C-alpha cells in the first residue's frame, strides 16, 4: 500500500541523452514507477529525453518523449535533470541552465566534473539545488556517497583502485594468456569493451578524471584532471608481464590518491599509472572489466568496494539511486551535501610521492654491467631490492625492483642510467605497491 500523500504532485524528471545509459534509466523509471514512488514519497514522471538525433531508435524510451530541444525540455518546470550525454559542452551549459531553473542535477559526466566541477558546485549552491554524480566513478559500485557521507567523520589517508574496465580487461588477458597488447586491444574492441578510438581508456584519461573526483571527495580539497599525473598502458609489454609474474606480481592500471605529511609537507598527490600489485593483494584478483577501489582511513581501516564499473544497467542503477536522493530532497524541501573543500590542501607534484619501482633495462652482455648499474642506483640514494638478468648478447635484460624512494630520486636514477653506455634502452619503468608473498 502506498504511503505517498495524495496531495504530493509528481516530480518531473528530464533526460539529457538517451544512449545506452540514458535509455536504461528511462526504462527503469517507467518499469519501477511504483517502487520509486514509495521510496521517494512522490510519483516520478519522465517528461522527456533530449537527444542530438531524433531519428535514431531509442529502445526503452517512448517515442513521444524524444526531443532535440534540451533548453525547451528544461524549461518545462522540471524538478530533476539527468545528464548522461557526456563531454564538456553543451553538457556544462545545459546543467547550469537546469540548475538556474530550479532543477537538481544527476550526472555521470566524469570529464566535466574533473575539469570544472567547481562551477557546477557553485551554481548548485547559488540556486539551492542538488548535484549528485555517483555514476561518474565505478558504475554501479556505491563509492562516492560513502566517501562523501559515510566517512565524513573519519580521516581518509589513501585511495587506490582499478577504475577503468577496458584497461583491466586488456591487462588481465595479457597476464592470463600471454598475449601482446595490440592483440588484446583488438579483442577488447571486438567485444565492445574498447571504443574504435581507445585513447581515453588506454592513455588513462578516463581513469585520471575519476581519480580527480575521488581525491576531491576523500581529502576535501579541490582537484582537477590537470592535477593528476597520468600514464597509460600502451607501453606495457609481454616482457613486463612475465617479469612481474616471476616476482609474484600482476600489472594493473591503478588510480592512487594519497595525503602526504612529512616534515613541513602536507598535501595530496594524485596519480594514475601501470603498477605492479602483489598477487596476494585483493586488487590482483580483480579480473576483466570489473572495478575495485581500496580506501584506507584512520579509524575505519581498509575498505574495499568491488563490482561492475561500466555498462548501461550498472551505471543506470547508480543514476537512479541519485535520482531518488535528489527527489526525496525536493519532497522534504532540503538539499544534500555540497562541495567540501575546507582543508584546502595543496596538490603536490609527483616528485613528492614515495613508492617502490620496477625497471626493465636493455643492457650489453659483458662483465661489470650489474656493478655499473648498481653504482648509479646507489648514487641516487635508491636501494635495490631484487635484481635479475635475462637473455644474452644483444637481447640481455636487467630487471630491478627497488626499495621505497621518491619520484625525484627515480628521475635522477633514470638520468644516470641513460648516460651509461652499457644501458642501451630503458624498456619499462613502473611503480610497485606492496610486497609479494615469498
pLDDT tens per residue across span 317-326: 999 999 999 9
d(CA 134, CA 315): 9
Q: Which helix (H) or strand (E) covers residue 120, if one does?
A: helix 110-126
Residue carrying C-alpha cell 529502445? 59
* Angstrom distances, CA of residue 387 to CA of 40, 356, 397: 60, 13, 11
pLDDT tens per residue across span 387-426: 988 766 666 889 999 999 998 899 999 999 999 999 999 9
Longest dimension (CA), the chain: 88
329-360: b or e for each residue (b if 16 or more CB lie within 10 Å)? bbbeeebbeebeeeeebebbebebbbbbbbbb
Would you name the residues annotated as active-site residues?
Answer: 210
Q: What is the mean pLDDT of each run of 10 residues along the chain (438 residues)?
A: 61 96 95 96 97 92 96 96 96 98 97 97 98 92 92 94 95 94 93 90 97 97 97 92 92 97 92 96 93 96 90 90 97 94 94 92 90 95 90 77 93 96 92 76
Q: 182: number of CA atoms within 13 Å, CB side?
A: 0
Sign of the Cα pseudo-torsion (230, 231, 232, 233, in order): negative
- Walk me through the domains of the chain, giving residue ranges and CATH numbers: 11-140+313-332 (3.40.50.720), 153-307 (3.30.360.10), 353-432 (3.30.70.260)
* Angstrom distances, CA of residue 435 to CA of 232, 272, 292: 23, 20, 19
d(CA 421, CA 275): 28
Burial of 125 (0-12, 13-18, 19+ CB in 10 A): middle
> pTM of the entire structure?
0.93
Amino acid at each position: 500500500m502506498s504511503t505517498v500523500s495524495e496531495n504530493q504532485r509528481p516530480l518531473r524528471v528530464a533526460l539529457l541523452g538517451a544512449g545506452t545509459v540514458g535509455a536504461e534509466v528511462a526504462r527503469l523509471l517507467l518499469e519501477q514507477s511504483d517502487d520509486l514512488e514509495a521510496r521517494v514519497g512522490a510519483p516520478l514522471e519522465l517528461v522527456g529525453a533530449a537527444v542530438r538525433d531524433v531519428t535514431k531508435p531509442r529502445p526503452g524510451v517512448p517515442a513521444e518523449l524524444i526531443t532535440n530541444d534540451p533548453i525547451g525540455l528544461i524549461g518545462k518546470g522540471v524538478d530533476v535533470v539527468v545528464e548522461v550525454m557526456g563531454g564538456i559542452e553543451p553538457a556544462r551549459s545545459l546543467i547550469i541552465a537546469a540548475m538556474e531553473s530550479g532543477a537538481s542535477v544527476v550526472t555521470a559526466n566524469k570529464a566535466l566534473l574533473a575539469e570544472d566541477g567547481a562551477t557546477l558546485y557553485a551554481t548548485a549552491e547559488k540556486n539551492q539545488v542538488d548535484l549528485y554524480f555517483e555514476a561518474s566513478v565505478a558504475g554501479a559500485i556505491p563509492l562516492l556517497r560513502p566517501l562523501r557521507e559515510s566517512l565524513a567523520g573519519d580521516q581518509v589517508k589513501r585511495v587506490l583502485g582499478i577504475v577503468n574496465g577496458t584497461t583491466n580487461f586488456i591487462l588481465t588477458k595479457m597476464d592470463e594468456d600471454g598475449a601482446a597488447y595490440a592483440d588484446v586491444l583488438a579483442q577488447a574492441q571486438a567485444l565492445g569493451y574498447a571504443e574504435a578510438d581507445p585513447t581515453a581508456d588506454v592513455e588513462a584519461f578516463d581513469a585520471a578524471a575519476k581519480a580527480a573526483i575521488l581525491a576531491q571527495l576523500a581529502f576535501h580539497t579541490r582537484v582537477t584532471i590537470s592535477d593528476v599525473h597520468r600514464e597509460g598502458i600502451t607501453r606495457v609489454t609481454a616482457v613486463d608481464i612475465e617479469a612481474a609474474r616471476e616476482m609474484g606480481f600482476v600489472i594493473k592500471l591503478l588510480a592512487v590518491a594519497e595525503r602526504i605529511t612529512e616534515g613541513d609537507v602536507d598535501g595530496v598527490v594524485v596519480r594514475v599509472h601501470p603498477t605492479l600489485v602483489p598477487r596476494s593483494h585483493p586488487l590482483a584478483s580483480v579480473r576483466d572489466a570489473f572495478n575495485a577501489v581500496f580506501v584506507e582511513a584512520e579509524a575505519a581501516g581498509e575498505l574495499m568496494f568491488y563490482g561492475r564499473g561500466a555498462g548501461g544497467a550498472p551505471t543506470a542503477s547508480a543514476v537512479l539511486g541519485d535520482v531518488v536522493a535528489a527527489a526525496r530532497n525536493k519532497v522534504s524541501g532540503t538539499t544534500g551535501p555540497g562541495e567540501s573543500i575546507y582543508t584546502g590542501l595543496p596538490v603536490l607534484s609527483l616528485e613528492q610521492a614515495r613508492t617502490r619501482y620496477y625497471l626493465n633495462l636493455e643492457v650489453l652482455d659483458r662483465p661489470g654491467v650489474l656493478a655499473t648499474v648498481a653504482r648509479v642506483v646507489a648514487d641516487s640514494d635508491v636501494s635495490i631490492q631484487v635484481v635479475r638478468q635475462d637473455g644474452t648478447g644483444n637481447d640481455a635484460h636487467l630487471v630491478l625492483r627497488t626499495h621505497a624512494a621518491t619520484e625525484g630520486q627515480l628521475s635522477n636514477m633514470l638520468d644516470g642510467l641513460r648516460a651509461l653506455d652499457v644501458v642501451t634502452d630503458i624498456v619499462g619503468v613502473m611503480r610497485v605497491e606492496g610486497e609479494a608473498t615469498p
